[in-house]
């Protein structure tokens, strides 16, 4: 949440400096994410007076101005603004100043042969609004030569991260209240503009859904004049990152940002009959203020009249009843909505708004009538008109929570000693009512207080979190015993192996949109969340690949030519008795260019299925799996392999049914579903399938105990076989290596050829076989015997030694 220090001091009487304010915010638990000083961006811009304005001698739409800056001789400036004229006051950017909107540094230059010493600026160029039809016109009494930043009253803007449990601080007044409680100043009372309410409200207001909308208040204001907001209001909204729209809309936004209380204004001429808070009817639709149409269902609360739905309650108003510059009569609405229902509706519609953020966390139910009076008073004061009496439908929750508190808990739970009188004072400054018996009555706005521990938190943070002493945990003497589990050790080893091979680790969400999750499972039994953060995080991931695909796409859209990502995490499935079945896995996604284009390589080389296979075997070997004993088989896993290209993918298995990994190219249909351009290679390793040592102490190790390098040099022999075209090279390699396990230590393919000289339906596969003598060097007879065994074993696979 952003706000200016000027806005803060509307509600907090304090002489504290900016540094003291930000330090105090951090100390009481409101993380300061950033501080921006608009005055720094406006350095070099001054208030100036146009003395003369003459037509440019060589351009029809330009003028040559002489401008008084209050210092020395007037400056000559070339300007193209249609409203530039002699006698007007404006803002001059002198050479050296940087234009905030585009970062351009102003310099003395010649425009169409005429020297120009800077630029007269528009509102948009200084990022003070959207108007760019002409240069800024200041009042005649503006001080010439004065810094425009000082004249404009620009003050530092503080950006604070408000935690979800503190909706009472989602308004500047709530921040001021906390700072005042921490001793940084005095909280000012809310200034309610005076007005006279005349007559009954002519519009019937009611709530037909007391569960979804317990309280619905409103009144009519007639004879208003809408238009631009005053500068003070625009400045405060802009400091919060809001774009000023019109006086009536800006005042509702001001109420929300200043006091955390959303409200809404309707053009009375666009309403028909009673205005009712009710459940939506199935199939009803509403055109919202964001110009999108939403289909509603019976679980959603709406505000409607006799003709149509006008408002998605607590989230966003409708376009058809919104106020405009021509609005003269309006209906003010302020309500209290059930927080969980607002959250469910927002997630269903995929619709976020400032109002939803506050309503689903819980607004102050005691600030209904006061909020409506404050908004009414501001409208009458700034837009004119006369207001009717309030009409009230229903009632907001009014039962305050009472918590029995023991002051000794502060030292026990918070680790800090705070005198009882100070504890009482802190709670009372935060509007808690503390009885003599320490029965603490909580303000209605504090939905987060559930028990004594929450009161300890309030006391400790206001006393100062920075005053809590850092105490190390006790540690036994001597060398600490290992605490990592075998699974953790395995993950560390895999993480190092993946990084060493050139892969970059990614950490993605464990939640996925339902459509993406469904794309990576063979069944409809997805592990869905009952209360997801959003619709895009509704389902627990059944695979690591979709998250990596999304991360790879994000990198590509930001200009990355190549992505080599891996992740070690959990896949989630619905287990027995409603429990989650979590399975450890490794995911790898390779996309973009494996080798960039160059004079030696020509075109860029993309990743292929062999790169995926190499990554899979490397990581499996690092995990302790017998990579040289794995079988390459079809890519179907549990009846599902549709995410991979059927001709460019496979599984690695330890036996026909023990699937350790799957790898290959992602299917074009899957890439289309993720809005990606191919080709993309991927690997998924199932760590839970890797054989474990007896006793559950980790994956099986296949190195021989006491192994040392052999004393004799190894020998290599090459063999070329004619084999059936559909024979997997891995099967031939496996057969060759099994011909003489005592002497053959390695066999690898170094050439595959099909074409001229090779019979139809055949291919030539060349292998390099490594032989390792043990206690003596090989003789010719030894090598011949081994070669004969290799040929015989290969022949059983349908191979024929080439002459």
Q: In the beta sheet, which residues pair with residue 316?
A: 312
Quick check: 363 and 215 in contact, CB under 8 A? Answer: no
Quick check: 266 and 331 in contact, CB under 8 A? Answer: yes
Long-range contacts, 616-619 (Cβ 8 Å, 24+): 616/588, 616/652, 616/661, 616/663, 616/683, 616/685, 617/652, 618/497, 618/501, 619/494, 619/497, 619/498, 619/586, 619/588, 619/683, 619/685
3-class state of residue 734 by DSSP = helix
User: Using alpha carbons only, how large is the chain's radius of gyration in Å?
Assistant: 37
Give Cα separations from 606 to 206, 601, 611 (angstroms): 64, 12, 10
Quick check: 1 and 158 in contact, CB under 8 A? Answer: no
Give Cα separations from 537 to 519, 534, 656 (angstroms): 15, 5, 36
State CA 802 to chain mean position distance. Answer: 61
Alpha helix (H) residue ranges in 384-419: 408-414
In 3D space, the residue among 260, 533, 503 whose CA is nearest the CA of residue 252 turns out to be 260
Residues 6+ apart with CB under 8 A from 691: 625, 654, 699, 700
Tokens of 168: 């009472």
Quick check: 462 and 178 in contact, CB under 8 A? Answer: yes
Check the annotation: does 298 bind a ligand: no
Angle at 352 between CA 350 and CA 357, to 5 degrees: 135
Q: Report the alpha-carbon distance of residue 86 to residue 81 in Å, rounded.
A: 13
In 3D space, the residue among 68, 118, 79 whose CA is nearest the CA of residue 97 turns out to be 118
State CA 392 to chain mean position distance. Answer: 39
Tokens of 466: 């920075």
Check the annotation: does 458 bind a ligand: yes
Tokens of 800: 């024929």
Residues 6+ apart with CB under 8 A from 540: 510, 511, 512, 517, 526, 527, 528, 529, 572, 580
Q: Report the alpha-carbon distance of residue 406 to residue 397 in Å, rounded.
A: 27
Q: In the beta sheet, which residues pair with residue 605?
A: 595
Residues 6+ apart with CB under 8 A from 611: 590, 594, 681
Q: Report the alpha-carbon distance of residue 181 to residue 785 in Å, rounded.
A: 91
In 3D space, the residue among 452, 395, 447 whose CA is nearest the CA of residue 427 turns out to be 452
Q: Report the alpha-carbon distance of residue 65 to residue 76 in Å, rounded.
A: 6
3-class state of residue 514 by DSSP = helix
Q: Does an H or E element contain 172, and which?
A: helix 172-181
Beta strand 264-267 with 329-336 is: antiparallel
Check the annotation: does 115 bind a ligand: no
Q: For the chain, what's the residue count?
A: 803
Neighbours of 363 (CB within 10 A): 31
638: left (phi over 0), alpha (psi -120 to 50) or beta: left
Check the annotation: does 422 bind a ligand: no
What are the binding residues? 448, 454, 457-458
What are the binding residues for Mg(2+)? 448, 454, 457-458
């Amino acid at each position: 949440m952003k706000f200016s220090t000027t806005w803060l001091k509307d509600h907090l009487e304090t002489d504290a400096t900016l540094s003291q304010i930000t330090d105090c915010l951090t100390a009481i638990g409101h993380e300061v994410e950033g501080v921006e000083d608009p005055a720094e961006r406006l350095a070099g811009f001054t208030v100036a007076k146009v003395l003369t304005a003459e037509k440019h001698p060589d351009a029809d739409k330009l003028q040559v101005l002489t401008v008084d800056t209050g210092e020395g001789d007037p400056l000559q400036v070339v300007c193209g603004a249609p409203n530039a004229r002699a006698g007007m006051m404006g803002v001059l950017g002198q050479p050296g100043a940087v234009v905030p909107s585009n970062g351009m540094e102003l310099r003395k230059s010649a425009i169409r042969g005429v020297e120009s010493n800077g630029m007269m600026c528009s509102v948009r160029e200084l990022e003070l609004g959207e108007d760019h039809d002409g240069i800024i016109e200041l009042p005649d009494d503006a001080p010439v030569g004065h810094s425009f930043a000082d004249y404009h009253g620009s003050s530092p803007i503080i950006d604070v991260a408000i935690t979800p449990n503190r909706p009472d601080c989602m308004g500047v007044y709530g921040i001021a209240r906390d700072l005042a409680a921490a001793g940084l100043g005095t909280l000012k009372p809310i200034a309610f503009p005076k007005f006279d309410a005349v007559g009954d409200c002519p519009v019937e207001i009611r709530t037909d859904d007391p569960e979804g909308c317990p309280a619905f208040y409103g009144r009519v204001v007639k004879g208003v004049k809408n238009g631009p907001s005053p500068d003070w209001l625009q400045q405060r909204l802009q400091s919060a990152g809001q774009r000023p729209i019109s006086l009536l809309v800006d005042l509702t936004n001001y109420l929300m940002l200043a006091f955390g209380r959303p409200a809404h204004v309707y053009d009375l001429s666009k309403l028909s009959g009673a205005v009712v808070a009710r459940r939506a009817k199935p199939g009803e639709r509403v055109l919202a203020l964001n110009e999108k149409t939403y289909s509603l269902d019976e679980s959603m609360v709406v505000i409607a009249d006799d003709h149509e739905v006008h408002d998605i309650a607590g989230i966003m108003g409708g376009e058809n009843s919104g106020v405009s510059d021509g609005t003269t009569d309006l209906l003010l609405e302020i309500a209290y909505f059930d927080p969980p229902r607002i959250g469910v509706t927002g997630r269903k519609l995929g619709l976020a708004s400032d109002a939803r953020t506050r309503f689903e966390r819980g607004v102050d139910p005691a600030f209904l009538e006061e909020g409506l009076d404050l908004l009414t008073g501001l409208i009458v004061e700034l837009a004119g008109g006369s207001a009717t009496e309030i009409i009230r439908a229903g009632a907001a929750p009014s039962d305050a929570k009472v918590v029995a508190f023991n002051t000794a808990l502060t030292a026990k739970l918070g680790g800090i000693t705070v005198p009882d009188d100070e504890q009482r004072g802190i709670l009372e400054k935060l509007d808690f009512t503390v009885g003599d018996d320490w029965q603490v009555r909580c303000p209605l706005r504090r939905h987060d207080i559930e028990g004594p521990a929450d009161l300890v938190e309030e006391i400790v943070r206001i006393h100062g979190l920075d005053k809590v002493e850092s105490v190390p945990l006790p540690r036994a003497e001597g060398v600490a015993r290992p605490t990592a589990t075998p699974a953790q050790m395995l993950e560390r080893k895999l993480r190092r192996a993946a990084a060493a091979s050139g892969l970059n680790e990614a950490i993605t969400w464990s939640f996925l949109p339902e459509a993406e999750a469904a794309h990576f499972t063979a069944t409809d039994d997805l592990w869905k969340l009952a209360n997801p953060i959003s619709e895009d995080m509704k389902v627990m991931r059944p695979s690591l690949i979709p998250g990596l695909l999304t991360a790879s796409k994000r990198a590509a859209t930001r200009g990355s030519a190549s992505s080599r990502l891996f992740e070690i995490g959990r896949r989630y499935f619905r287990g027995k008795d409603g429990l989650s079945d979590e399975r450890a896995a490794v995911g790898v996604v390779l996309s973009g260019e494996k080798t960039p284009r160059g004079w030696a390589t020509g075109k860029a080389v993309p990743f292929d299925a062999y790169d995926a296979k190499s990554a899979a075997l490397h990581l499996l070997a690092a995990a302790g799996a017998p990579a040289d004993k794995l079988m390459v088989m079809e890519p179907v896993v549990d009846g599902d392999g549709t995410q991979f290209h059927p001709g460019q993918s496979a599984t690695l298995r330890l036996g026909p049914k023990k699937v350790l990994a799957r790898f290959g190219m992602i299917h074009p249909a899957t890439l289309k579903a993720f809005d990606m351009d191919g080709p993309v290679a991927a690997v998924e390793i199932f760590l839970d399938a890797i054989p474990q040592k007896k006793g559950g102490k980790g994956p099986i190790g296949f190195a021989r105990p006491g192994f040392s390098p052999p004393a004799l040099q190894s020998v290599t022999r090459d063999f070329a076989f004619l084999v059936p075209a559909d024979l997997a090279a891995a099967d031939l390699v496996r057969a060759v290596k099994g011909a003489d396990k005592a002497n053959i230590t390695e066999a690898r393919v170094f050439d595959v050829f099909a074409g001229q000289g090779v019979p139809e339906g055949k291919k030539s596969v060349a292998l390099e076989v490594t032989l390792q003598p043990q206690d003596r060097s090989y003789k010719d007879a030894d090598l011949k015997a081994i070669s004969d065994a290799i040929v015989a074993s290969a022949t059983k696979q349908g191979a024929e030694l080439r002459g």
